[in-house]
Structure 1
């Protein structure tokens, strides 16, 4: 309704101007000025009530003054062009907020509830309670945050993570409200409903962020607060000195700082909106400006640069009577009796090679050494040389350990038959992310609690600039402070638990994989919804583009005012021409800001390989 009213005023005013040209009746021009000027006058009065001299007041004073000197065309033209500019400005600002409106529109309203007797019914979201089971069919929207109880399918999570490729979901998987099931059938236990869902938190966060003011915007608003009354005083002085009322009124019009005032908020809205569309939540304008200045990133290793869990990397045969698969299968079966993380890695590695790992018959953990088990009548040990009857050549074990891998002997009846080694593996997208950061001139510091040898091996494979190893959480805080003391603007990427002090100290705290962590969405300065490291350089690059856009727009606004002032002083610029150029500059500023809405995300992930990354040696139980 408001849109129709806005454009209705513009249409009626424009029609009256055309009719005045055709008939030559001045009263139609006065009516056109009144129709277009009335909403402007109301806005000016509302601003005065809160002791604010707005741009609207400048326009109204100029328009009324033009009527008093019988310059009806200038009065109508000024108000009509200003009203037209406002209508176009509102329309384009709505366009820049489309990323948020898309999120709001994606919020589900109903769900198919699965009752205890096996029947289903469609209910409103508010009728659900945590613990209810909802049924989601192929092509339907997932209505709640929850956990998959049964079923299998591919879920389009673009509204949450910005990922275009559907994520595979099975029993135990997390799902989010507002996403779409593109294949399969899922039964989901409701956990987050309505306002408690991740989507609702994202919408709330983006709304707050788009309204949050950057430091530059705050400065310009303070500037315009004094600039606008200053223009009125200057115009009055010019009128009194020159005795030229039309010149004074023209100065009022051409000095309107409209493009200057709109240049920052429209850029912030567009930048934050584009980021949200791509699964990156930026807390607000101030943090967007800070992110644009980041030139040093401190990154935790485990779970950020690496996958965060041990994987089988090597299987070597020492006794030619056995094959590599036989060695691995015996080791895996022995490890079925262990709950150690390394045991899980060996079993998973065997299963990935297509081996069937059956439970062991009898086993005995040996504290600090490994495990001894009875497998098919043979005594199998996995662990250190102390579990063997004969001490083997340790050369290969030491070589693997020097590479940062945890290597263990596989013994059969007291003799070393082979070696298995496990290690944390580098994330497939980590090398590309580090390179992208370097391309942007950002220094990358890896900070980890792991052993120095382990950390240096990871650093060598990734090409990070600096390695800090064997750290306590408080040591990471010291690193951030050191970098800031050196003049760096620092971003800290961590898991938000043991890295909390450093995240709080950093200029920008970054949370990865925040889709599953509502707390991270609320607290992080930048939240990467997808667990994708390349989104970090993308976010920093988008922030820099947004700030550059702000600067360009400020330059255009100031240049426009300077050119118009020169035009007035040297003649040739009238009120109507000044308003036309002024409104054109406003629309140009908005159009440039809208370029930020173009999709530029291209963080394709290379195919994961078995690249080994070192990890701290784990002491066996």
Structure 2
């Protein structure tokens, strides 16, 4: 799917919401204006005011105006009734439609000869308030989806395509193909994911990656479509278009999460279903009871209508979806992309967090500190050539550090005949006709190669071993540094009585150093991906609710096994398929934000469920009229019901403040 199609789909989605919002708004104002003459003609209202505006044929005028309100103002509810009945799932719209239809039918009958008093004014005010409630709901939902709209607007519509002779041609971004060269001038947006082939500048990717400061981009650096080029001109080779582009994947993940029903939502749906049958049964029982007692049909009908208004699960239907939409969108703005809402809700129960080390607790910006040849006929330069030939194909932070050293030394690496990434273990390839494997201590163990020299690295240092034709020929030692935010994250988690562990493929000395500095509860070193999965399984057997962080690819088994799998990464690596939550900005502090915001989200859901159900539970008996000192009219019932909806909507909006506090 091209980006244009994605944009069209998003615009269509946005257009539908705009149309629905305008539709409810228009119907509300027309109905409210028509309600004025309905109130003017109502005998009950005239009686309250102590006046009589009656004239010949006034009942027919009242009938005509009320008919317009019923069919025009009530159409969204009548249409919803048809949809729900066809699905075999009667719910809120069915209940509203039943109430207004009974009111309209009975009142119309009184105009044409049936004995009794009509209550067109209750019908009109009920429709007005229902339209107002839906209008408020639609505005809230649209507000919650604002992050998606903002993300979609980030991508420019055109690009400067570079031709063979250095000329540029203005093309639509939908016409861009992988491999095209585009020119991005200062102040312009990057039109597609790609790699800088010429130029130097600073690019603002705040809305995309959560990185607040503009990032320097030079030759061979990757850029993300939608970022703003702030200074120099850049020539960019297009690497990602359409739904493969980073922005499209982000929008897809956020939208998917918003549309996914959570466990709490399923609970709300069940409650709403039961409430419908309870309210319908209560309405019929109320009608029958008052008729048996001997009350007039109009009074009995009024009580039945009031019961149906009060019991309408409007607020209940809004309680969870609105919180879900707001939490997902607010999280996305902060670089927390929720792919699995059920896992996100579980985060409030996390009892153990297992961090990966490289690029998570540490910066992941490696520098080569030592190169050691272990064979007499090998020089340090030979080791660097072998490693450089293979690592040039890898995207791992360690590979970036090695290639930086290769460039600094001006070494020309030999041709690579084949390359394979051994997930979570290392890389291998054929160089000069020989198979070369590169990996850490755990990889050496798997190859059954034993090596000890009494120095397995210090601090946050990492060793990379080079194996040629099954023989260890040398190693490189790379240094890394602990992130400043790591200590804050660990401190917060410990304050919450959450155990903090680390699992890494690095050597014992490196793992111990990082663990000691951060005062972790424990660590596992020299582990392979399957080892991490087993570690998590063992912790879960002991009753721990485990949150695991990793890069989303190498740690796939562990992320899938964990109760909550969190992928750490930025740029085009963000769409980790196995993760429940993706952190765009590689910041361990975001783990504590997930847990804090997960708690706040769940609390808001529970508060909304409590308000919606408690309101119905208290108001329903009063609506029957059996408590003689407390008789609620249909109009008051509509007011109370709409107020409960407003309270639920406002309570959900407070989630944004919760996220700010979590930060």
2:340/2:581 contact within 8 Å kept: no
- Distance (whole Å) between structure 1 residues aligned to residue 136 and residue 592 of structure 2: 34
- Distance (whole Å) between structure 2 residues aligned to residue 342 and residue 107 of structure 1: 38
- 1:190: how far off? 0.5
| Structure 1 position 42 matched with structure 2 position 87 | no
- Using the size of structure 2 for normalisation, the TM-score is 0.74
Match of 2:148 in 1: 100
- Distance (whole Å) between structure 2 residues aligned to residue 602 and residue 166 of structure 1: 25
- 1:208: how far off? 0.9
- Distance (whole Å) between structure 1 residues aligned to residue 74 and residue 462 of structure 2: 78
Match of 2:258 in 1: 210
2:622/2:631 contact within 8 Å kept: yes
Match of 1:72 in 2: 120
Q: C-alpha offsets along residues 399-440 of structure 1, whole Å, 9 cap, x if unaligned?
A: 996767699xxxxxxxxxxxx996432223222222232234
| Structure 1 position 494 matched with structure 2 position 539 | no
Match of 1:515 in 2: 571
Q: Which moved more, 1:247-256 or 1:420-429?
A: 420-429
Within 5 Å, give how 1:50-449 maps onto structure 2: 50-67=87-104, 68=106, 70-243=118-291, 244-308=300-364, 310-311=366-367, 339=384, 423-449=479-505
SS of equivalent to 2:345 = helix
Q: What RMSD, in angstroms, separates the aligned Cα atoms of the two structures?
A: 3.1
- Distance (whole Å) between structure 2 residues aligned to residue 167 and residue 229 of structure 1: 58
Q: C-alpha offsets along residues 553-592 of structure 1, whole Å, 9 cap, x if unaligned?
A: 1111122213322543532321111111111111211111
- 1:167: how far off? 1.3
Match of 2:620 in 1: 565
1:467 to 518, 523, 541: 523
- Distance (whole Å) between structure 2 residues aligned to residue 300 and residue 406 of structure 1: 14
- Distance (whole Å) between structure 2 residues aligned to residue 358 and residue 479 of structure 1: 41
Match of 1:381 in 2: none
Evaluate the alpha carbon distance shift between residue 602 and residue 572 of structure 1 in structure 2; reply closer, same or farther with a 3 A threshold: closer
Match of 2:585 in 1: 530
Match of 1:7 in 2: 25
Q: C-alpha offsets along residues 485-521 of structure 1, whole Å, 9 cap, x if unaligned?
A: 222221111123442221111111111114322651x
Match of 2:646 in 1: 587
1:550 to 583, 593, 605: 605
Q: Which moved more, 1:470-479 or 1:460-469?
A: 470-479
- Distance (whole Å) between structure 2 residues aligned to residue 603 and residue 546 of structure 1: 12
2:460/2:482 contact within 8 Å kept: no
- Distance (whole Å) between structure 1 residues aligned to residue 579 and residue 226 of structure 2: 22
SS of equivalent to 1:425 = coil
1:41/1:60 contact within 8 Å kept: yes
- 1:540: how far off? 2.3
- Distance (whole Å) between structure 2 residues aligned to residue 456 and residue 556 of structure 1: 50
Evaluate the alpha carbon distance shift between residue 461 and residue 518 of structure 1 in structure 2; reply closer, same or farther with a 3 A threshold: closer
- Distance (whole Å) between structure 2 residues aligned to residue 239 and residue 593 of structure 1: 36
Evaluate the alpha carbon distance shift between residue 398 and residue 42 of structure 1 in structure 2; reply closer, same or farther with a 3 A threshold: closer
Evaluate the alpha carbon distance shift between residue 159 and residue 577 of structure 1 in structure 2; reply closer, same or farther with a 3 A threshold: same
Match of 1:609 in 2: none
Q: Which moved more, 1:589-598 or 1:335-344?
A: 335-344
Evaluate the alpha carbon distance shift between residue 185 and residue 266 of structure 1 in structure 2; reply closer, same or farther with a 3 A threshold: same
- Distance (whole Å) between structure 1 residues aligned to residue 479 and residue 363 of structure 2: 10
Which has the higher relative contact order, 1 or 2, with Cα contacts under 8 A spaced 6 or more apart?
1
- Distance (whole Å) between structure 2 residues aligned to residue 406 and residue 340 of structure 1: 19
- Distance (whole Å) between structure 2 residues aligned to residue 500 and residue 451 of structure 1: 21
Evaluate the alpha carbon distance shift between residue 440 and residue 179 of structure 1 in structure 2; reply closer, same or farther with a 3 A threshold: farther
1:513/1:528 contact within 8 Å kept: yes
- Using the size of structure 1 for normalisation, the TM-score is 0.79
Evaluate the alpha carbon distance shift between residue 305 and residue 597 of structure 1 in structure 2; reply closer, same or farther with a 3 A threshold: same
2:268/2:609 contact within 8 Å kept: no
- Distance (whole Å) between structure 2 residues aligned to residue 358 and residue 80 of structure 1: 77
- Distance (whole Å) between structure 2 residues aligned to residue 84 and residue 153 of structure 1: 51
SS of equivalent to 2:198 = strand
Q: C-alpha offsets along residues 27-65 of structure 1, whole Å, 9 cap, x if unaligned?
A: 334543343222211211121111121212212222232
Evaluate the alpha carbon distance shift between residue 240 and residue 359 of structure 1 in structure 2; reply closer, same or farther with a 3 A threshold: closer
- 1:91: how far off? 1.2
Evaluate the alpha carbon distance shift between residue 358 and residue 197 of structure 1 in structure 2; reply closer, same or farther with a 3 A threshold: closer
- Distance (whole Å) between structure 1 residues aligned to residue 358 and residue 409 of structure 2: 31
Evaluate the alpha carbon distance shift between residue 401 and residue 294 of structure 1 in structure 2; reply closer, same or farther with a 3 A threshold: closer
- Distance (whole Å) between structure 1 residues aligned to residue 194 and residue 280 of structure 2: 59
1:283/1:525 contact within 8 Å kept: yes
- Distance (whole Å) between structure 1 residues aligned to residue 144 and residue 461 of structure 2: 50
Match of 1:575 in 2: 634
- 1:193: how far off? 1.4
- Distance (whole Å) between structure 2 residues aligned to residue 200 and residue 12 of structure 1: 40
1:209/1:284 contact within 8 Å kept: yes
Evaluate the alpha carbon distance shift between residue 561 and residue 121 of structure 1 in structure 2; reply closer, same or farther with a 3 A threshold: same
1:272/1:284 contact within 8 Å kept: no
Alignment: residue pair count:
530
- Distance (whole Å) between structure 1 residues aligned to residue 609 and residue 597 of structure 2: 18
Evaluate the alpha carbon distance shift between residue 40 and residue 357 of structure 1 in structure 2; reply closer, same or farther with a 3 A threshold: closer
